[in-house]
């Protein structure tokens, strides 16, 4: 009996789910199963997008026959020749002998390698940018080599703005009755499997994935139909953002992923002690026993976390076998841009540390810490300094906040409660001080949290230097900007980074408050000093909860609101020159000239991403 899902009026999912498969590609465990997606477009012509794995062939052919409803199959587009999508192609041809294959030249070569049927006479070759009319729909083809094999292409339905994305944007996990990602709690129930799928299947090919994302950024996409997992019709930008992060090897979480190999528990004990001491410092940790957790899960975690600690016993004069496999696998998957530390163990000749280091040193942009712990059978109290030095070295590379003491009576006396009435959905200069360095940035997220004691929250983008300074020092000032603030203040604090510029070089007047942090006396009606008591990680931003240690009114000018800024302060975009193609940043007005805006483009002025640009 057929089991299909309607995607649009004339597009139907005709794939199948496999929950009996133990190891996908013979390598990756799939405890929640996997779906093999195939889609049938029933336009004037009937067009199938890929076939399925042999495991679900029975239901696939029933689904196809039911959806065709007596019509013949005119075309099958082969986007990817890996047999989890093409294994049933020869049977498809037996059942529908007149079907024509749409494929690129590389795919045609592979078809001849895999199958015995006559390829050339029934294949319509396409290349980048070619179009194909199915009746009401126009399809165009976009080459996506190495996402995940060299012949891969994706197809864009220009009529309904649907991207058939082959392996890209897929996930492990059977569909369980739903077809759209928004029918399930994807972040809670599927994101870990989506990450594991990405990192293990195409993690090695970040550059090629970025190339596909760049091409996709020029397309208006209403829906993504991948070959595994759910169809995306909402929150597409959020999922693309994940792909931008994963393909650029950017960590999603700040903290330490610890993977250990321990035969009799002594290396594990050391890893536990290090994790415990990191937690005491407020640093997030996750731990995996490489003999228990499949490598694919640990690889996904390594893509997720910013810091990696590998602890391994020495085994046969080398690295413990499952740890060696993991590290070689990680290197093969192109892991990069991480801070890494090692712990070794060896009862008579410890070599695992040196060998682990050599593997990771072959990866790009790794910050390998000198500090290490070398065990002879087990950790001894005399090695406490070694452990602490390693913990300290990790901690020094992770900006953290220091919990504040309760506000003193003297502090309370310096808080003018009326200063808090100046807060609105406004714009603020957030300033901090780390050693001799003063810095500040623009934020629009200051909210009073409680009245007794007086507390506020600020949400700060992790890319800002001010963010890291506040994490480290726990101190900041908020200057509440007023309606007379000139645009140059936004340019000064918002469109350049404190990593390259000295924002308190005297060009904008600044005064120091009791906490030693500067605030702006001009164009502000109040300043508020905060001492951080909690920091909550919200992905791109940290939400700081702070006690107010000082607050003063500086003027009676009205606070500037976000709406006022857009209406009266931000320069209006100049009319585009005729025929000039480009995109304008909605935040600061920067103009990017070009036909297409790369998906991972970051505004050089205000650092906002491509999602904040609109066509000229
Ligand atoms: Fe789902 Fe690369 O095959």
Domains defined along the chain, listed by start: 5-247 (3.60.15.10), 253-396 (3.40.50.360), 425-560 (2.30.110.10), 582-615 (no CATH)
Residue minimizing CA distance to atom 3 of ligand 1:
82
Q: What angle do CA 287, 288, 291 make, to 5 degrees?
A: 155
Q: Averaged over 479-486, what is the pLDDT?
A: 96
- Residue-level pLDDT at 248: 94
How far, CA to CA in Å, does 141 sit from each of 41, 102, 126, 144, 379?
A: 16, 10, 7, 10, 59
What are 593's two structure tokens?
A: 């000239």
What are the DSSP calls for 562-614, one per residue? HHHIIIIISPPPPPPPTT--EEEETTT--EEESS---TT-B-TTT--BGGGEE
417: confidence class by pLDDT, cuts 50, 70, 90: confident
- Residue-level pLDDT at 537: 85
Is the Cβ atom of 167 under 6 angstroms away from ligand 1? yes
401 pLDDT higher than 70: no
407 pLDDT higher than 60: no
Tell me the whole-structure pTM to 2 decimals: 0.74
- For the chain, give the mean pLDDT: 93
What are 209's two structure tokens?
A: 């994935």
Q: Averaged over 277-301, what is the pLDDT?
A: 96
**CA 84 to ligand 1 centroid distance, Å:** 6
| Cα gap 503→507, rounded to integer Å | 8
Contact 94, 37 (CB under 8 A): no
Per DSSP bridges, beta strands 475-481 and 428-434 are: antiparallel
Is the Cβ atom of 18 under 6 angstroms away from ligand 1? no
Q: What is the pLDDT of residues 321-362, one digit of tens each?
A: 999 999 999 999 999 999 999 999 999 999 999 999 999 999
Contact 81, 154 (CB under 8 A): no
Q: What is the pLDDT of residues 145-156, one digit of tens each?
A: 999 899 999 999
- Residue-level pLDDT at 74: 98
- Residue-level pLDDT at 600: 78
Cα atoms in the 13 Å half-sphere on the side-chain side of 436:
2
122 pLDDT higher than 80: yes
- Residue-level pLDDT at 408: 57
Rg (CA), the chain: 28
Ligand 1 atom nearest 167 alpha carbon: 1
What are 98's two structure tokens?
A: 């007149």
Dihedral over Cα of 95, 100, 106, 108: its sign: positive
Is the Cβ atom of 541 under 6 angstroms away from ligand 1? no
267 pLDDT higher than 80: yes
**CA 85 to ligand 1 centroid distance, Å:** 7
- Residue-level pLDDT at 411: 60
- Residue-level pLDDT at 218: 87
- Residue-level pLDDT at 166: 97
**CA 29 to ligand 1 centroid distance, Å:** 15
402 pLDDT higher than 60: no
% of the chain surpassing 90 pLDDT: 82
Element (H, E) at 344: strand 339-345
Q: Averaged over 448-476, what is the pLDDT?
A: 93
409: confidence class by pLDDT, cuts 50, 70, 90: low
- Residue-level pLDDT at 584: 83
**CA 286 to ligand 1 centroid distance, Å:** 29
- Residue-level pLDDT at 582: 85
**CA 59 to ligand 1 centroid distance, Å:** 20
Cis amide prior to 453 (ω within 30 degrees): yes
**CA 165 to ligand 1 centroid distance, Å:** 11
Element (H, E) at 159: none
Q: How far apart are the first and last CA of the chain?
A: 52
Q: What is the pLDDT of residues 513-547, one digit of tens each?
A: 999 999 999 999 999 999 999 998 887 899 999 99
486: confidence class by pLDDT, cuts 50, 70, 90: very high
- Residue-level pLDDT at 203: 95
- Residue-level pLDDT at 610: 84
Is the Cβ atom of 84 under 6 angstroms away from ligand 1? yes
Is the Cβ atom of 85 under 6 angstroms away from ligand 1? yes
Is the Cβ atom of 228 under 6 angstroms away from ligand 1? yes
297: confidence class by pLDDT, cuts 50, 70, 90: very high
Ligand 1 atom nearest 25 alpha carbon: 3
Q: Averaged over 272-285, what is the pLDDT?
A: 96
**CA 82 to ligand 1 centroid distance, Å:** 6
In the block, tokens 């919990």 appear at: 403
Nearest C-alpha neighbor of 530 from the set 461, 452, 448, 462:
448
| Per-residue DSSP letter, 330 | H
Residue minimizing CA distance to atom 1 of ligand 1:
167
Question: pLDDT: is 38 or 425 the higher one?
Answer: 38
In the block, tokens 């000064």 appear at: 492
% of the chain surpassing 70 pLDDT: 96
- Residue-level pLDDT at 596: 86
| Per-residue DSSP letter, 470 | H
Which of 52-56, 117-121, 570-574, 596-600 shows the lowest mean pLDDT across its residues?
Answer: 570-574
**CA 378 to ligand 1 centroid distance, Å:** 44
415 pLDDT higher than 80: yes
Query: How remote is the C-alpha of 165 from its chain's centroid?
Result: 18
Ligand 1 atom nearest 149 alpha carbon: 2
Q: What is the pLDDT of residues 565-605, one digit of tens each?
A: 988 998 876 665 566 788 888 777 777 888 888 887 877 76
Ligand 1 atom nearest 152 alpha carbon: 2
**CA 227 to ligand 1 centroid distance, Å:** 8
């Amino acid at each position: 009996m057929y089991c299909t899902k309607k995607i649009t009026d004339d597009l139907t999912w005709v794939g199948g789910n496999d929950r009996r498969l133990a190891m996908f590609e013979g390598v990756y465990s799939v405890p929640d199963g996997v779906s093999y997606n195939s889609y049938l477009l029933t336009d004037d012509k009937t067009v199938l997008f890929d076939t399925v794995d042999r495991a679900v062939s029975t239901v696939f052919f029933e689904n196809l026959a039911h959806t065709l409803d007596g019509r013949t199959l005119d075309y099958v587009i082969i986007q990817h020749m890996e047999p989890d999508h093409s294994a049933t192609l020869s049977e498809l041809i037996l059942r529908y002998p007149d079907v024509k294959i749409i494929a690129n030249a590389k795919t045609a070569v592979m078809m001849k390698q895999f199958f015995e049927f006559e390829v050339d006479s029934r294949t319509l070759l396409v290349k980048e940018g070619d179009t194909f009319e199915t009746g009401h729909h126009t399809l165009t083809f976009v080459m996506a080599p190495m996402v995940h094999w060299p012949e891969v292409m994706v197809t864009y339905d220009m009529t309904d703005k649907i991207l058939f994305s082959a392996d890209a944007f897929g996930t492990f996990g059977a569909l369980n009755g739903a077809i759209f990602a928004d029918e399930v709690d994807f972040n809670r129930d599927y994101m870990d499997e989506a990450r594991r799928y990405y990192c293990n299947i195409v993690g090695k090919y970040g550059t090629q994935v970025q190339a596909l994302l760049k091409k996709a950024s020029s397309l208006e996409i209403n829906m993504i139909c991948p070959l595994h997992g759910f169809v995306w019709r909402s929150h597409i930008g959020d999922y693309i953002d994940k792909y931008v992060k994963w393909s650029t090897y950017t960590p999603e979480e700040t903290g330490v992923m610890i993977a250990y190999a321990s035969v009799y528990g002594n290396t594990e004990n050391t890893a536990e002690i290090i994790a415990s001491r990191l937690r005491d410092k407020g640093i997030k940790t996750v731990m995996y026993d490489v003999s228990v957790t499949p490598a694919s899960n640990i690889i996904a975690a390594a893509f997720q976390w910013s810091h990696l600690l590998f602890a391994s016993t020495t085994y046969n004069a080398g690295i413990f076998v499952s740890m060696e496999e993991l590290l070689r696998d990680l290197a093969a998957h192109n892991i990069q841009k991480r801070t890494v530390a090692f712990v070794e163990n060896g009862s008579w000749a410890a070599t695992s540390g040196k060998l682990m280091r050599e593997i990771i040193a072959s990866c790009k942009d790794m910050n390998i810490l000198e500090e290490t712990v070398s065990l002879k059978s087990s950790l001894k109290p005399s090695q406490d300094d070694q452990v602490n030095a390693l913990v300290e070295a990790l901690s020094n590379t992770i900006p953290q906040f220091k919990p504040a003491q309760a506000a003193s009576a003297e502090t309370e006396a310096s808080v003018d409660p009326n200063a808090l009435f100046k807060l609105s959905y406004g714009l603020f200069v957030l300033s901090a001080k780390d050693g001799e360095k003063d810095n500040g940035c623009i934020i629009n997220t200051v909210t009073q949290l409680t009245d007794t004691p007086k507390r506020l929250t600020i949400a700060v983008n992790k890319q800002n230097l001010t963010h890291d300074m506040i994490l480290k020092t726990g101190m900041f000032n908020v200057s509440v900007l007023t309606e007379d603030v000139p645009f140059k203040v936004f340019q000064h604090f918002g469109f350049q980074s404190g990593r390259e510029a000295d924002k308190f070089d005297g060009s904008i007047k600044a005064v120091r408050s009791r906490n030693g942090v500067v605030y702006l006396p001009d164009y502000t009606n109040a300043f508020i000093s905060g001492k951080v008591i909690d920091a909550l990680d919200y992905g791109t931003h940290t939400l700081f909860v702070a006690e107010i240690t000082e607050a003063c009114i500086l003027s009676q000018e009205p606070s500037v609101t976000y709406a006022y800024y857009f209406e009266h302060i931000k320069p209006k975009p100049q009319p585009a020159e005729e025929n000039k193609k480009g995109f304008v940043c909605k935040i600061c007005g920067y103009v990017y000239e070009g036909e297409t805006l790369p998906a991972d483009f970051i505004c050089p002025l205000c650092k906002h991403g491509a999602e904040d640009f609109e066509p000229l």
